[in-house]
């Protein structure tokens, strides 16, 4: 049932239009599945110059930032500088679910396009609000980055604002002696991570981030502010655990079950690049089947920063008895057959380990950010992905190694290559159809990345990462991870969601029957 607060907000801001369908931030729509009804929001319906933004700013507790405001330039920026050309019509930095409802109603009333943002890490730049290279029109950005409160309950659960970064989540959860499995990038927003599934550095021990989700608050297309769970709107809850962001609603808070924080042993190994084939062969046979308390990532990297040749790195976490880490790694080392050139491990607290992965071990969480006052630096990048089910044969390994080696010849690449992140363990113990994340039985997620100097034309980095994925399709097929969205992927619904695509589309039709929100993919 619609809350009285949300009903008043909607009726005061063109609620009749909003109830026909609303722009969303929950989980992504599927290719070829949008209803034939014309969306109610279009880029050209109302010129921005005739939009009365004061009607929105007067009805929200958060901030509405428009061109000409002193904070506009800093507020409009997302994490990837390649999208700095975006000039949104306005950015609503929402302070509550009621603010979000007001923003959606205003957009429907004035027929302005929308973009949704939590962490601002959308790989294709869809959260930027109209960057040149995205092909999207300038938009009203509904930004939840102002909702950062993390509240710990006596039972160990954590209620997290949708705009909280992983650094903020780790600081609060770890500071309370609890643990949540999530990623390693400090500035990633917890909402986007969770909605897409959530792979990270404790994934094999504790499962995906979405597996810890017990309920969430979401503003849906009908204007309702819903608290959803296994027992309240269970189909919607199912879809928001791995279905991606952008088509079911704007998430405003998430509640997670947490674990008692374990000691974490972080470890790392390095070999000469000449050993790459042997290391890949051994790792892919070992990593997905190792003790679930162990997680690992294998990286092959090249580019201008690698003056002595490509790098071959293996690192990970172990939450078992710290003294046992050598015995856990022994089968891998034996299979490789050559000793690493570098090897080390360090026992840390959960909080110290997670902030270390984030690059913020000695930085307070409030400054573990690229925002004004933060100590991190934005870096231009290009990326795409695979979800891999089968080990590479000799031909596939040769192709992967050769493509990493070729990065040195591509002008302008600071660092480029591939990261192989192990799955298995707790991820595979959940049925493929239990949540919208449909790749439970996969061996690994694969991320192809390239960083380059800010201001550089991204055409060559894009060509490199997309070409890398194409080269590996004969070996790994077409599966991809929705949190590493790639606008160039065809057949993306099946690639991202596998056997869950049909049900996810049905849920989308139920909660957004008019297909108002038109984010690509």
Tens of pLDDT, residue by residue over 59-94, are 999 999 999 999 999 999 999 999 999 999 999 999
Residue 210 has pLDDT above 60, yes or no: yes
Q: What CA–CA distance (Å, rounded) separates 187 from 219?
A: 24
Contact 214, 390 (CB under 8 A): no
Across residues 362-366, what is the average pLDDT? 91
- What SS3 state is found at 473? helix
Asked which of 52-66, 167-181, 266-280, 352-366 is least confident by mean pLDDT, the reply is 352-366
**Who has greater pLDDT, 114 or 388?**
388
Task: Please list the helix, strand and coil fractions of the chain in percent, rounded to the nearest 5, in that order.
Answer: 35, 20, 45
Residue 517 has pLDDT above 90, yes or no: no
Mean pLDDT of the chain, nearest integer = 90
For residue 193, the tally of other CB atoms under 10 A from its CB is 27
Residue 37 has pLDDT above 60, yes or no: no
Q: pLDDT tier at 136 (50, 70, 90 boundaries)? A: very high
Query: For the chain, what percent of residues have pLDDT higher than 70?
Result: 90
Helix axis angle, 97-110 relative to 4-12, nearest 10°? 30
pLDDT of 359: 87
Angle at 246 between CA 115 and CA 417, to 5 degrees: 90
Q: Phi first, then psi: what are they for 483, rounded to 5°? A: -75, -10
Q: pLDDT tier at 250 (50, 70, 90 boundaries)? A: very high
Asked which of 30-34, 325-329, 360-364, 454-458 is least confident by mean pLDDT, the reply is 30-34
| Residues 6 or more apart whose Cβ sits within 8 Å of residue 38 | none
Strands 63-65 and 90-93: antiparallel
**Who has greater pLDDT, 411 or 109?**
411
pLDDT of 21: 27
Closest CA to 187 of 164, 153, 203: 164
pLDDT of 7: 30
**222-255: string of b/e by CB count within 10 Å (b at 16+)?**
bbbbbbbeeeebeebbbbbbbbbbbbbbbbbbbb
**Who has greater pLDDT, 7 or 272?**
272
pTM (two decimals): 0.90
Q: Phi first, then psi: what are they for 417, rounded to 5°? A: 160, -140
Q: pLDDT tier at 513 (50, 70, 90 boundaries)? A: confident
């Amino acid at each position: 049932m619609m809350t009285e607060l949300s009903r008043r907000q909607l009726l005061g801001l063109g609620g009749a239009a909003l109830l026909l369908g609303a722009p969303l931030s929950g989980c992504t729509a599927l290719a070829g599945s949008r209803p034939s009804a014309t969306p109610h929001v279009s880029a050209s319906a109302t010129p921005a110059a005739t939009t009365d933004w004061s009607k929105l700013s007067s009805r929200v507790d958060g901030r509405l930032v428009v061109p000409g405001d002193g904070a506009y330039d800093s507020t409009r920026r997302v994490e990837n500088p390649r999208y700095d050309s975006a000039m949104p019509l306005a950015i609503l930095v929402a302070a509550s679910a009621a603010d979000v409802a007001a923003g959606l109603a205003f957009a429907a009333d004035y027929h302005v396009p929308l973009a949704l943002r939590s962490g601002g890490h959308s790989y294709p730049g869809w959260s930027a609000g109209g960057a040149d290279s995205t092909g999207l029109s300038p938009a009203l950005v509904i930004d939840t980055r102002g909702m950062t409160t993390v509240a710990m309950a006596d039972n160990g659960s954590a209620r997290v604002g949708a705009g909280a970064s992983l650094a903020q989540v780790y600081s609060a959860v770890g500071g309370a002696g609890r643990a949540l499995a999530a990623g390693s990038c400090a500035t990633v927003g917890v909402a986007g991570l969770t909605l897409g599934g959530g792979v990270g550095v404790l994934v094999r021990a504790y499962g995906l981030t979405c597996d810890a989700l017990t309920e969430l608050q979401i503003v849906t297309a009908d204007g309702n502010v819903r608290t959803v769970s296994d027992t309240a709107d269970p189909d919607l809850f199912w879809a928001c655990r791995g279905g991606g962001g952008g088509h079911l609603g704007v998430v405003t808070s998430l509640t997670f079950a947490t674990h008692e924080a374990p000691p974490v042993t972080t470890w790392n190994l390095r070999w000469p690049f000449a050993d790459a084939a042997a290391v890949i062969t051994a790792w892919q046979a070992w990593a997905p089947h190792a003790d679930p308390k162990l997680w690992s990532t294998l990286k092959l990297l090249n580019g201008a920063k690698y003056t002595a040749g490509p790098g071959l790195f293996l690192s990970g976490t172990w939450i078992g008895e710290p003294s046992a880490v050598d015995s856990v790694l022994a089968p891998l080392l034996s299979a490789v057959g050559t000793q690493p050139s570098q090897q080390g491990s360090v026992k840390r607290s959960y909080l110290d380990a997670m902030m270390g992965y984030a690059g913020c071990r000695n930085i307070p969480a409030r400054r573990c950010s690229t925002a004004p006052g933060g100590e991190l630096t934005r870096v231009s990048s290009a990326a795409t992905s695979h979800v891999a089910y089968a080990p590479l044969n000799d031909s596939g390994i040769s192709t992967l190694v050769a493509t990493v080696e070729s990065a040195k010849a591509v002008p302008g690449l600071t660092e480029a290559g591939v990261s192989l992140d192990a799955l298995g363990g707790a991820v595979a113990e959940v049925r493929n159809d239990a949540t919208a994340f449909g790749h439970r039985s996969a061996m690994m997620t694969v991320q192809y990345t390239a960083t380059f100097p800010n201001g550089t034309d991204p055409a060559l980095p894009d060509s490199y990462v997309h070409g890398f994925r194409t080269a590996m399709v004969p070996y790994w097929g077409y599966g991809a991870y929705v949190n590493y969205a790639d606008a160039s992927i065809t057949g993306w619904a099946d690639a991202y969601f596998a056997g869950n695509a049909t049900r996810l589309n049905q849920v989308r039709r139920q909660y957004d029957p008019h297909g108002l929100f038109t984010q690509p993919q």
